[in-house]
Structure 1
Amino acid sequence: MDTNQSLRLRPLGSALRTVVACGIVGCTTLYGPGSVRHLLAFPTFSYVTTILIVSDATLGDALRGCWQALYASIQVLLPSMLILKVIGPAKFTPELAAVAAAVTAFLVALPVFTPLMTKQLAFGQTVIVYAGVVINGAETSVVMHPIHVALSTALGALAAVLAMLLPYPHLALSEVRRACRIYAENASQRLNLLVEAFSAQDNRVALDFLTEARDLAKTGVMLLENIRDKQEGIMWERPQLRFREPNQLDLGKKLQDMEILIRGMELSLTSCTSFPIGMIDEELRDLMQNSKVQIGLKLKQAKFSASFNAAMAPESRKEHTNRSSFIHKTFSTTEEDFRAFFFLNCMNLLQDGTAVTRSPKFPVLKEDKAKTKESIDTDKGKSCFKTIQGSVMAISMWLSSERMVFAFKCSISLGLAVLLGLIYNKNNGFLAGLIIATSFVTGRKATFTSANARAQGTAMGSIYGVICCFILHNLQHLRCLLLLPWIIFTSFLRHSRMYGQAGGKSAILGALLILGRKDYGTPTEFAIARITETTIGLLCLIMVEILLQPARAATLAKTELSACLGALQDCIEGIVVCTGRKDVPDSESSRLRENQKKLALHVGELENFVGEAELEPNFWFKPFHSGCYSRLLESLSKMVDILLFMASQIEFLAGVSPRLGAAWKELEQQINDNLELFAEKAGSSLKCFDGVLQIGSLAKLEKEIQRRSVSPDIESGKPANADVSTNSGLEEDDVEDIAYSFLHHLMEVHYMILSTEGEAMIKSQMVLCLCGLGFCIRSFMRETIEIEKEIRELVKWDNPGRNINFHEVIEPYRSKLNELKSASPKSKLTTCSSELETQSNNIEQKPTSIKHSMKAWRI
């Protein structure tokens, strides 16, 4: 309850800081000396700058915002002075102002290294400068007008910094320590619940514990996101930390390593079909309780200054050495114990402080030292080439098509908004461009949803301001006091799904521009003009967005899902157990980690597209199947974690296997045969799914399907092109067969390990690692089956009334691909059916012998 209450009240603290910052701007621009108010001629943009910087910020974030405001001012100040000097203020028309704003926006948006907030502030300054020239005409000063804009920006940035200092400093370091403390409590509670669920005596009790642990997991994810967001602020508060090693400062990554292991424990329990687990005895319960205590002590060190890699206390080392004893007593011969051993392996890694996101370190063998020295010399020779290559890549990113599209989008929409806004209302024409200047984001977003939230927020804030002016008509000096409840209210709106950051900030600015200023005319007329100008700007933004990026989020989600399946295929190809150790990770395991990172990036993009597609209107298109994509995301996210565990387990086996001698090589080959069989079955299924997803409509291929169909069966009475539902991918029998085979080899490895001389701890870790690898393979195959089910549902959703035959669909589709790619004969695709037939013939000889062997092992 304390953690949840703290998270719920966090917007309140942000609201109070926002009140302080806006109060500083309001008092300075309304009641400051006349000379100061003359220099601060644009209080509107002072409020905009403050709201952009101060929202959910710390002192470090505010300092970074000041630097970004200075950078934005330099980008706009000097070019605008030059343009005004060359053209002359008297010659500026709305058309010329729109062109100047468009050109400046394009140059500001193009560089990839410029932060987003810097671009937003520069866009806003550009609108104020060139629209102000049109409004004031020949009276505009070439030098002082841009300086007034820059000073107004500086006031907003300075107010944000002072708000972070009053009444006491709001430090990012304190926020991180506080979030770490809360996360430690959260993780400790989840650990206790998972251990209790593991030891539960019936399904109902275990399910209750797991449900409570899942609820706490959502809070843990929010805390980790908060920690990652505040990491950069710490660097601005303490610049000396930039010179330290990154691994000493990346606290969010260390906590993420702990989070992955806890998620692994939860994954193993959710896959259990029944409780209690048969392998649990009193000795194992005592061992888990002791391990839980030791992990709890490590979690209490979750502060910024704590060392997560520090050695454990002497008491924990004693338990550390005794953990190998349970292997001899509790090892079972049933594949159901894969889950339990994976749970114990995650708990083991959590107690040891081992990170699955990084490759394990092993002592370098003498025969590898010469190779290491040679590789270092080679790396030195390649350093110059890498530097040149990095420079070329930076230039290519700067001129990439994505950056060009973003720059054109900002340029055209901003110029069009300035033009139409000045034509509609010359005195308030800058408002149309100002609303979209702060709306640009890199990449895609839910355009209609964001525009709707901004329009509603602007309308609510403006109406609230008009009502307050009407109530306090005779007490205008007290109008600012009514901003206090409104800012608090809108701060909670910013953290809601309904309005988000865009709608909440627009609601604050809508009231601020009426209650926090004066000499703008009648409040009602200004509110109407403000709402109209906002609508003009948002319409320009939506129109340009549709013209330059017409692809729907639902279409992009489908394309990104295909990319996820391709990344999964690359990951599967790299799952090989390799013997031998080096001072660097093996090439195969490192390639698996790289592919896993690519898959994680694709899954993250897919999640963004799915979230956007759920919010966007469908218009005349088919509704977005959000439920199916949500289940696909769940399976893909599990696969990302599973692949991370598999990479860690394979690297560990590669590091310790030389200690077992020549006897390991034969078993290693047998294990790799299982992995190869698994890769063939899962990989072929993913290829079929990927091909089916790329088909826009099955109706386009109906004639070709009919041509490739066999003759009709007269006796059956079915036409030749009748839809037949067949399974083109993995089946439950495949999962069982591969699991049986892997367990058979695992038993051989187990007894070989016990009969080998060596450290008991290494032996136990090898057995745990092999069991964990078996669980990961089994879970991966099951998730592949789930993905196949969901993709079948997606294809049926796009093609209603048809019972899809994957073989029938994919073969003509691949033929068409080959025709389109005839210029590159090396890129020929094999049909999915032939691959599956070959694999089924290979596996057909194994299940019988495997099952008989497993029966012999079961006692």
Structure 2
Amino acid sequence: MAQLQPRRRWRSSLASGFRAALACTIVGVASIYAPPAIRCHLTFPAFSSAVTVNTADAASPGSAVRAALSAVQATAMGAVPSVLPLWLAHRTGAGESVVATTVVVALSTFAVALPGSGAVAKRIALGQIIIIYVARFRQESMRRSDGDGAVLLHPANVVACTALGVVAALLAVLLPCPRLATQEVRANKAAYLEVAAERVRLLAHAFRLMQLDAAAGSSSSTYCCGRRRQWVAACIISQADRAASAAALLRRRITSAQGDLQWERMPALLKRWCGGGWDDDEEDQQVHDLIEMPLRGMEMACIQMHKRAPNSSSICPTPTLTWLQQATDQVRLTLLTRRSCSGMEMAKHGYGVVVPEQLPPLAFLFCMDLLLHGSSPPKLPPADAASQCDGNTKDDEEQRKHRPWPWHKEARTTRLVVAAKCAFSLGLAVLLGLLFSSDHGFWAGLIVATTMATEREWTWALAIARAHGTALGSVYGALACLLIDKRRLMELRFLALLPWLILTAGFLKRSRAYGPAGGVAAAVSGIIIVGRRYDEPPMAFTVSRLVETFIGLACTVVADLVFQPAARPSAKATKQLARCLATLACCFNDDDSWGGQTSTKVKAVQEQVALLKRYVAEAAGEPHFLWSVPFPASCYDKVAGRLDRMAQLLCLYTKALAVTPPADEAADAIHRFHGLVSASLDHTSALLHRPSDDEKQRKDLEAGIRLSSCCCDDDEAPETLVQSFLGHALLQQPQQQQGASAMASIGFCMGEMAKEAMQMEADMLDLTLRSSLPRHITIIH
């Protein structure tokens, strides 16, 4: 299975590269060999290639249809409103003024960036604006024509070039054989189930090895065999961790393809008559939660068992190990064949006193039982269920009332600032580009327009990727022009572009170093330089375009620094960390910890933590300015890992509480534990929001500073609360093995979450100290 993953990636990259090469070839053939009546309107084939590269990314019919609709929307925002300004410029003669052109471009950019449309639509619309207002051949055509026909002809030619790029992308997706997003999702789901079955086998094998090691004792005769089993178990857990990473990648691919499924699904009326061959998104998400959460719990239990191996004792008798083997086979058969499991009850075994060493094995057995039967909370009577649904509906309505609507004051201000930033960067790029060269001035604005990400607020990493991609594409194009003489046939240029398009659109676009921005810039640069008009030497054209490109990128970075200095990834990571802590603390502040709203809150915590990881990854590649403190990426990674682990433990915790609700005494211990963890999270959040120096000195003089941990200062230690909960829970004397394992899982999650909260306080204190260091001091790892 591990050998098939690189092959799949290579096949997918090659398919994407060949489709992009086919689409650009269609654009080139149409712009050269089309009838004269059509070819006269294709005045800017480089823009058609840029549209093709931007729209032919995912290589699925759904994404191509969505990109086509985005192009129609872009035409309505960019080319259509430009007719009136062009007519006014033609009448007044303002088209020859650089300042007037810059002002019109800035205002048009602000009008395009303000609405909440998609990124592809905005890029195409901004590209149309640059070509219509700034391109040199438009001015020449208006000089030659004194009538008003040129005012309508030039935007019509730009629309024709856009339509050519969209049609080429559609044909490239459909021509060889359409690769539907539904087939891609089903293949990824099948691969995910295979990886999940392999993870179950690995984790069950590691569990049995550690149980055999615990049963063998610590005599000298079995010491070597025990050490060998521990090494093997450690290797197996490492393999399970790598399989978990592969499963996470497959889940991300499934999630990314969900947006294309709605364009490939049949309407609801036809779906009713054609049968149920389509999957439901909610059921898929539920299946993923029921599989991934127990596997994560099994992995965490195995890790804790391996840490406590020398002091652990065997708690699983032979019937339990036999049940585990049968359950493993049944779960793997279910995952591989997608058949329902037959009823299997967990092997019964009496427990006198549950010690902390027994909690991880019992949590492992509980997660295996969840995989076997799924989470089955106690069923409510119809009246109670109806009342609970009504309560949830009322809560949802109240949340919708208090939820800020799109044109809220803060959201409106942010959108206005982002639109003003885009208008400033594009207008400044056009102004400086025209001042540098009137012939090639539009390249400075075009590189910003076709690769601008208006939904993101900080574009330094994207600017670096675009610069690298533009340089690579320009070097390749210049070398191709030097090797191919201008008197040769045009087909040789296509042959020179094909390998470059396959490399950039297939591999460079999916790499971590360049990404989509660098891949698109490299592909477009090669296409423009190789397919240029031979009115000047290729090296001079390459140098001029490189200078114009770097002018545009510099304007983008300057606009970010001027308009949104607080929108850097480091600042967003700090705000997102505070948001994650508040969301996690909200889960523990809730009185009804095993109610219906808890699962929604746990899902919100997981989403916030995933967003934090993305911001931290972006901030790690952020440049270090002289006036700012270096970003402590390692500290943020530690805190994000703690939050992710607490979110996973909280998910398992809520599942165990739903299976066996505790009694009054045990519930009291749980409430006290929630207060303890909530206080620790509040203390951690207070460390993140440190007061200023003056306020800090005033508080020191008045009351002093309390730097100790809330968990350590509390009279009730987490271990005491866990033991109190287990003591009260065993008084319930559950008749089923699932009840005992659920109670042990609750105790296991309580202890691990308390440890993570205490360790997160130390990590947060380290982060605070690193963030407050003077600028001339740097910690060397």
TM over 0.5: yes
Number of aligned residue pairs: give it.
Answer: 731
- Counterpart of 1:149 (choices 142, 158, 161) is 158
Structure 1 residue runs of 5 or longer lacking an equivalent are: 303-310, 579-588, 655-666, 711-722, 755-762, 802-859
AA aligned to 1:485 is P
1:781 aligns with 2:754: yes
605 and 173 in structure 1: CA distance in 2 versus 1, 3 angstrom threshold: closer
Once the two structures are superposed, the pairs formed by residues 598-613 of structure 1 within 5 Å of their partners are 598-613=604-619
Aligned residue number for residue 435 of structure 1: 447
Aligned residue number for residue 479 of structure 2: 467
1:206 aligns with 2:233: yes
1:412 aligns with 2:434: no
1:563 aligns with 2:579: yes
1:108 aligns with 2:112: yes
Structure 2 residue runs of 5 or longer lacking an equivalent are: 214-228, 775-781
Aligned residue number for residue 507 of structure 2: 492
Could you say what secondary structure the match of 1:695 adopts? coil
AA aligned to 2:38 is V
Once the two structures are superposed, the pairs formed by residues 217-296 of structure 1 within 5 Å of their partners are 217-240=244-267, 248-250=280-282, 253-257=285-289, 258-272=291-305, 273-275=307-309, 278-296=314-332
Q: CA deviation at 1:730?
A: 3.9
Q: CA deviation at 1:505?
A: 1.4
111 and 445 in structure 1: CA distance in 2 versus 1, 3 angstrom threshold: closer
CA deviation map 1:458-508 (0-9, x unaligned)? 111011111111111153520221112222322322222222221121111
Aligned residue number for residue 771 of structure 1: 744
AA aligned to 1:748 is L
Contact 2:64 2:170 in 1 (8 A): yes
Aligned residue number for residue 339 of structure 1: 360
Q: CA deviation at 1:402?
A: 2.0
Could you say what secondary structure the match of 1:742 adopts? helix
Which shows bigger deviation, 726-735 or 673-682?
726-735
AA aligned to 1:402 is T
38 and 521 in structure 1: CA distance in 2 versus 1, 3 angstrom threshold: farther
414 and 639 in structure 1: CA distance in 2 versus 1, 3 angstrom threshold: same
Once the two structures are superposed, the pairs formed by residues 421-432 of structure 1 within 5 Å of their partners are 421-432=433-444
CA deviation map 1:330-359 (0-9, x unaligned)? 78621222222222222222222449xxxx
1:322 aligns with 2:345: yes
Q: CA deviation at 1:74?
A: 1.8
Aligned residue number for residue 823 of structure 1: none
Could you say what secondary structure the match of 1:57 adopts? coil
688 and 78 in structure 1: CA distance in 2 versus 1, 3 angstrom threshold: same
234 and 557 in structure 1: CA distance in 2 versus 1, 3 angstrom threshold: closer
AA aligned to 2:363 is F
Aligned residue number for residue 848 of structure 1: none
- Counterpart of 2:625 (choices 590, 594, 619) is 619
- For residues 255 and 14 of structure 1, what CA distance do their matches in structure 2 show? 30
CA deviation map 1:749-807 (0-9, x unaligned)? 2x2x33xxxxxxxx443333322222221111111011011012112223459xxxxxx
- For residues 457 and 741 of structure 2, what CA distance do their matches in structure 1 show? 44
492 and 130 in structure 1: CA distance in 2 versus 1, 3 angstrom threshold: same
Aligned residue number for residue 820 of structure 1: none
CA deviation map 1:283-328 (0-9, x unaligned)? 22222222222222332256xxxxxxxx72xxx42xx2432xx233
AA aligned to 1:121 is I
Aligned residue number for residue 372 of structure 2: 351
CA deviation map 1:809-856 (0-9, x unaligned)? xxxxxxxxxxxxxxxxxxxxxxxxxxxxxxxxxxxxxxxxxxxxxxxx
Contact 1:111 1:398 in 2 (8 A): no
- For residues 427 and 281 of structure 2, what CA distance do their matches in structure 1 show? 43
1:681 aligns with 2:676: yes
Q: CA deviation at 1:191?
A: 1.4
Aligned residue number for residue 596 of structure 1: 602
1:60 aligns with 2:69: no
- For residues 395 and 707 of structure 1, what CA distance do their matches in structure 2 show? 45
Q: CA deviation at 1:396?
A: 3.0
**TM-score of the aligned structures, taking structure 1 as reference length:** 0.79
Could you say what secondary structure the match of 1:39 adopts? coil
Q: CA deviation at 1:444?
A: 3.9
Once the two structures are superposed, the pairs formed by residues 36-47 of structure 1 within 5 Å of their partners are 36-47=38-49
- For residues 128 and 361 of structure 1, what CA distance do their matches in structure 2 show? 64
79 and 736 in structure 1: CA distance in 2 versus 1, 3 angstrom threshold: same
Aligned residue number for residue 534 of structure 1: 549
259 and 696 in structure 1: CA distance in 2 versus 1, 3 angstrom threshold: same
Contact 2:663 2:729 in 1 (8 A): no
Aligned residue number for residue 736 of structure 1: 719
Aligned residue number for residue 335 of structure 2: 299
- Counterpart of 1:642 (choices 646, 649, 652) is 649
Contact 2:302 2:364 in 1 (8 A): yes
163 and 493 in structure 1: CA distance in 2 versus 1, 3 angstrom threshold: same
- For residues 369 and 498 of structure 1, what CA distance do their matches in structure 2 show? 52
- For residues 154 and 83 of structure 1, what CA distance do their matches in structure 2 show? 23
- For residues 344 and 242 of structure 2, what CA distance do their matches in structure 1 show? 34
Q: Which has the higher contact order (CA 8 A, sep 6+)?
A: 2
Aligned residue number for residue 95 of structure 1: 99
Aligned residue number for residue 693 of structure 1: 688
Q: CA deviation at 1:269?
A: 1.5
Q: CA deviation at 1:701?
A: 4.7
- Counterpart of 2:76 (choices 74, 85, 89) is 74
- For residues 391 and 776 of structure 1, what CA distance do their matches in structure 2 show? 32
AA aligned to 1:704 is R
AA aligned to 1:777 is M
Identity of aligned residues (%): 30
Could you say what secondary structure the match of 1:141 adopts? helix
Contact 2:509 2:515 in 1 (8 A): yes
CA deviation map 1:689-715 (0-9, x unaligned)? 212211165x445632552378xxxxx
- For residues 391 and 743 of structure 1, what CA distance do their matches in structure 2 show? 40
**TM-score of the aligned structures, taking structure 2 as reference length:** 0.87
Contact 1:47 1:156 in 2 (8 A): yes
- For residues 575 and 346 of structure 1, what CA distance do their matches in structure 2 show? 25
| RMSD of aligned residue pairs (Cα, Å) | 3.1
- For residues 776 and 174 of structure 1, what CA distance do their matches in structure 2 show? 39
Could you say what secondary structure the match of 1:400 adopts? helix
Q: CA deviation at 1:637?
A: 0.7
Contact 2:181 2:257 in 1 (8 A): yes
102 and 156 in structure 1: CA distance in 2 versus 1, 3 angstrom threshold: same
Contact 2:660 2:742 in 1 (8 A): yes
AA aligned to 2:669 is N
Could you say what secondary structure the match of 2:349 adopts? helix
Q: CA deviation at 1:280?
A: 2.5
- For residues 445 and 395 of structure 1, what CA distance do their matches in structure 2 show? 18
- For residues 330 and 475 of structure 1, what CA distance do their matches in structure 2 show? 87
Aligned residue number for residue 854 of structure 1: none
32 and 629 in structure 1: CA distance in 2 versus 1, 3 angstrom threshold: same
457 and 361 in structure 1: CA distance in 2 versus 1, 3 angstrom threshold: farther
- For residues 255 and 48 of structure 1, what CA distance do their matches in structure 2 show? 40
Aligned residue number for residue 714 of structure 1: none
Contact 2:197 2:335 in 1 (8 A): yes
- For residues 232 and 370 of structure 1, what CA distance do their matches in structure 2 show? 33
- Counterpart of 1:708 (choices 702, 705, 710) is 702
AA aligned to 1:781 is A
Aligned residue number for residue 25 of structure 1: 27
CA deviation map 1:192-216 (0-9, x unaligned)? 1111111113321211001011112
AA aligned to 1:70 is V
Once the two structures are superposed, the pairs formed by residues 374-453 of structure 1 within 5 Å of their partners are 393-396=405-408, 400-444=412-456, 447-453=459-465
1:544 aligns with 2:565: no
Q: CA deviation at 1:128?
A: 1.4
